[in-house]
Structure 1
Amino acid sequence: MRINLNFELENNIISKEYRLTIISFIKNALKIYSQNTYDILYKDNTKMKAFTFGVFLPDAKINNDNIELSSRYINVTFSIFDNQLFIELYNSFNNMLNKKYPKDENTKSQIIMTLKKITMQNEKPIKQNKIIIKFLSPLVLRDHNRETNKDIYVTFKDDNFNDILNQSVERLAKEFDFESSQIKLTPLNLTDSNGNIIQEESKTTAVPFKELLINVSYGKFCLEGNINLLNNLYKTGIGSRRSEGFGLFEVL
């Protein structure tokens, strides 16, 4: 299930770490509405969460540590796998309508916002085992090295990309109790009649998050796999850090 939150900002210049403000908003809304749900999700912060989100920033221009927007409104789209969690999140957000967040204007987040509108979004049923998708928030894939206890973030340009992707899918399926199988994510390019690439539809970049620079993939891709599995991944999102604003996609 998907919902869209429309926020009004007090300033059209925001921090590159805007995802942290959205995460803080989610936690605060849940804590006010249901301490029990908050504890289930966040008391053990390593717990995998059954939702993902993406933030739409209108005509974003990056300037040093900030992002300048063309308007003072942003949209945040949530996809929620679990029905009960959907109800809890929806009610939590509804309870925050027309309330400024954070209340303290001296907050370190640099973003003061007010939730103005909540709308439901229709999901698009997946009926084929090969689809074209577009990421609404970048794909993060983390390869953890147990010996060094360090994370390496891979993109579709890395040879082990689909291997790490499928390891991530297996963990998701185990956590949320659905059947897993192999999937394949392939970058897309526009070509001319001679097969020459004229536009890359799949791209990579480095995104600042929690004082790290994380390598991510974004844009349009071809996703192949079992139809039931693809429908589940459409709801959960794919990859690492999904509940922190990564891995949400739409079907084109």
Structure 2
Amino acid sequence: DYCFSVILPKSRFTKDEIKLENNKLKILFSTGDAEKTGLILFNAFILQKNKTFSLPNKNSMILKSITNQKQDLIVNSRAIFKTTIGSGICVREHNRENNSDKYYVFSDADFREKLNNVISNQVRQAGFSEDEINKIKVSPIQCKKVVVKHYGRYIDITTGMFEIQANNEILQYFYDQGIGSRKSAGFGMIDLITQDLL
């Protein structure tokens, strides 16, 4: 019931490395309040503050600061969102018979159908009704395909802006907890652009 995004300012990606201009990175976490996950994560991070965590190739990481940011309250049934920097919307179709995955991006003919399947399952598991689920509409506005390396495999994701129509509680759920596949693996985090639509 959370999502996150890793922001690497002024970074340069090579085949095997990420080179940072300076020694700072930012990780954003977002979650809803229902399960108190945000409070649990916040307290866990406080306990790890100023400790050194070893990383490969003689690197290390130290948690220096933690801030709690207030999320907007969504009151309308239509809003425009953009993917958070460092994140994107992942739409995965998993084949259980041969244990394979296929990923879809906004330019694929089946993208809206596959995204609808993913978010319908996501929202159903969150406890929303079938009637509410059937009213969800997601429309890509300005998007691009990005290829990312995820656990040693290259996958296609979509970044950009989306208009989403649904009841305000579902929109809040997407905003707080992310949208799409692999949310807890660094995908699906979105920022609210506007909910003031006619």
TM-score (norm 2): 0.85
Structure 1, residues 4-41: CA drift from partner, whole Å, max 9, x if none? xxxxxxxxxxxxxxxxxxxxxxxxxxxxxxxxxxxxxx
Distance in 1 of aligned mates of 2:57 and 2:110: 36
Equivalent position of 2:196 in the other structure: none
Equivalent position of 1:250 in the other structure: 191
Equivalent position of 2:118 in the other structure: 168
Equivalent position of 1:21 in the other structure: none
- Superposition map of 1:65-214 within 5 A: 65-81=16-32, 82-102=34-54, 107-108=55-56, 111-136=59-84, 137-179=87-129, 180-181=132-133, 182-188=135-141, 201-214=142-155
- Gap regions ≥5 residues in structure 2: 194-198
Percent identity at matched positions?
A: 31
Distance in 1 of aligned mates of 2:108 and 2:170: 24
- Gap regions ≥5 residues in structure 1: 1-49, 189-200
Equivalent position of 1:17 in the other structure: none
Distance in 2 of aligned mates of 1:109 and 1:248: 29
CA 1:111–1:171: 2 relative to 1, 3 Å: farther
Matched-pair contact (CA < 8 Å) for 1:162–1:184: no
CA 1:108–1:83: 2 relative to 1, 3 Å: same
Q: CA RMSD in A?
A: 1.9
Which stretch shifts more, 222-231 or 239-248?
222-231
TM-score (norm 1): 0.68
**1:143 partner amino acid:** E
**1:117 partner amino acid:** S
> Secondary structure in 2 aligned to 1:213?
strand
Question: Which stretches of structure 1, 4 residues or more, deviate above 3 A after TM superposition?
Answer: 107-111
Structure 1, residues 181-221: CA drift from partner, whole Å, max 9, x if none? 14333232xxxxxxxxxxxx411021001111111001222
**2:102 partner amino acid:** I
